[in-house]
């Protein structure tokens, strides 16, 4: 898997038991060049790696992650369409060095 991009975000829970709570996370896109998938991943701010990864640059590095949970909530697009978006909450991000297309 190849680390494509990352940025840290904050959000306010809109519904459910945590409604109104603010939380921060590192939003990470990980691409799988073999099958062409891009995975939207989130690393929560209470994860022990958050501070290190929020300030690092792993773009174009090969990584391995552990998936803690997945969800597929409905998302509204600017044009009014609704889609299901898979979100994976990850931990244990391991840097395996620069991505090499010959090995990918």
CA separation, residue 48 to residues 5, 12, 41, 44, 51 (Å): 20, 22, 16, 9, 7
Domain ranges within the chain, ordered by starting residue: 2-98
Fold (topology level) of 2-98: OB fold (Dihydrolipoamide Acetyltransferase, E2P) (2.40.50)
What percentage of the chain carries pLDDT values higher than 70?
89
**Residue 6, number of CB atoms within 10 A of its CB:** 19
Distance in angstroms (rounded) separating the CA atoms of residues 64 and 22:
28
Residue keyed to tokens 């994860």: 47
Tell me, what's the pLDDT at 103?
62
* pTM for this prediction: 0.74
CB-based burial, 17-44: b 16+ in 10 Å, e otherwise: eeeeeeeebbebebbeeeeeeebebbbe
pLDDT tens-digit readout, 28-58: 888 888 888 888 899 999 999 988 887 777 8
- In this predicted model, which residue has the larger pLDDT, 5 or 73? 73
**Has residue 6 got a pLDDT over 70?**
no
Task: Work out the mean pLDDT of the chain and round it to a whole number.
Answer: 85
């Amino acid at each position: 898997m190849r680390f494509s991009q990352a940025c840290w975000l904050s959000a306010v829970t809109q519904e459910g038991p945590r409604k109104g709570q603010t939380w921060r996370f590192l939003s990470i896109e990980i691409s799988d060049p073999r099958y062409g998938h891009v995975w939207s991943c989130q690393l929560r701010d209470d994860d022990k790696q958050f501070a290190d990864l929020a300030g690092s640059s792993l773009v174009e590095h090969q990584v391995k992650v552990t998936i803690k949970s997945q969800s597929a909530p409905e998302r509204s697009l600017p044009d009014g369409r609704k889609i299901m978006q898979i979100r994976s909450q990850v931990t244990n991000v391991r840097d395996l060095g620069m991505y090499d297309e010959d090995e990918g």
